[in-house]
Amino acid sequence: MGAAPASRDVTSYGMGLAAPLALFFLLFFVAPLLQLLWLSLHNDTAGLHWGLGQYLHFLTDPFSLSVLGSTLLLGAEVTAVCLVLGFPIAWLYQRVGPKVQTIIILIVLLPLLTSVVVRTFAWIVILGRQGIINATLQSLGIIDTPLKLLYTQFGVVIALAQVQMPLMTLPLITALGRIDPNLDDASCSLGAGSWRTFFRVVLPLSLPGVIAGCTLTYAAAITAFITQSLVGGGQMLFMPMYLYQQASTLQNWPFASAISIIFLLAVLAVVSVFTTLGRLSRGYGGA
């Protein structure tokens, strides 16, 4: 009886199986990015003169820089709201019975099953002058005239926070679920109160989930073209709408390409910061 053939090294299958995905990635991600970079290196819309004029135009224009700053600040505000509201939901999920857990996870996932356009129009109805909030406040006699909630920074942040909330809550539920509940009992038995146990035990061990949720929420919030445009109206301008105006309305494709590249680099810088914090948090949590 002959010897059994030696098993094939699993790493030898890697390149062949990854080829379709790599080809798809090259065609529909790398190639468009290279075309954007090529377009952004033209100083005129006709594409006759090469140079860095579009980048210099953006980086020396106070209006363009203010739009970029407003967009990055919007992402930070939405991420902070989602973290403050999402952490208690994830914490509650880990401390209730299976039936309540099912209800919570349904509430968290239900927005993902609804179109972003529908949810955004629902917020227009809620925040409008005759919307639910203003009607309730007026019926209670708290205000005499309707508050301006729609087409404001506050309205955009609240609407985006509701739209992006699942991206924050789900990583937090996963991170908190990995924490041994006996650690809470051990901390309390050693004399630590609830708040000290939370800040010294629960929060450090949940940092990987916090970082993952912040990364997902931030990236989704600053690129949410529909919600920013509809809830913000024409009162505020963020990078996705600024890019759309330059490309579709003004047909200034070289400048729009430069905006895209600069916006991409800014987002990658922020995500890199989150990634670095995530690596540090894993080391801290495992200490």
CATH no. for residue 171?
A: 1.10.3720.10
* Residue pLDDT, tens place only, 236-247: 889 999 999 999
Confidence grade of residue 287 (pLDDT, cut at 50, 70, 90)? very low
* Residue 201 in domain: yes
Q: Residue 37 and residue 144: Cα distance in Å, rounded? A: 53
* Residue 75 in domain: yes
- For tokens 């972003």, what's the residue? 116
Structural domain total, the chain: 1
* Residue 57 in domain: no
pLDDT value at 188 more than 90: no
Sequence-distant (6+) residues with CB within 8 A of 13 are none
Q: What does each C-alpha distance from 26 to 22, 30, 138, 141, 180 come to in angstroms?
A: 6, 5, 56, 60, 43
* Residue 243 in domain: yes
Q: Which amino acid is at 113?
A: L
* Residue 153 in domain: yes
Q: What does each C-alpha distance from 180 to 19, 129, 206, 245 come to in angstroms?
A: 41, 48, 11, 51
Q: Which amino acid is at 176?
A: L
pLDDT value at 235 more than 80: no
* Residue 90 in domain: yes
Range of the domain at 209: 64-283
* Residue 48 in domain: no
* Residue 262 in domain: yes
Q: To 10 degrees, the CA torsion angle through 154, 159, 160, 166?
A: 140
- Please name which of 96, 222, 89 lies closest in space to residue 168, comparing C-alpha atoms: 89
Instruction: Kindly report the backbone phi and psi dihedral angles of residue 50, in degrees, each rounded to the nearest multiple of 5, phi listed first.
Output: -85, 155
* Residue pLDDT, tens place only, 8-60: 665 566 667 778 888 998 999 899 999 989 999 988 877 778 888 899 999 99
This prediction has a pTM of 0.84
pLDDT value at 3 more than 80: no
More confident call, 165 vs 187: 165
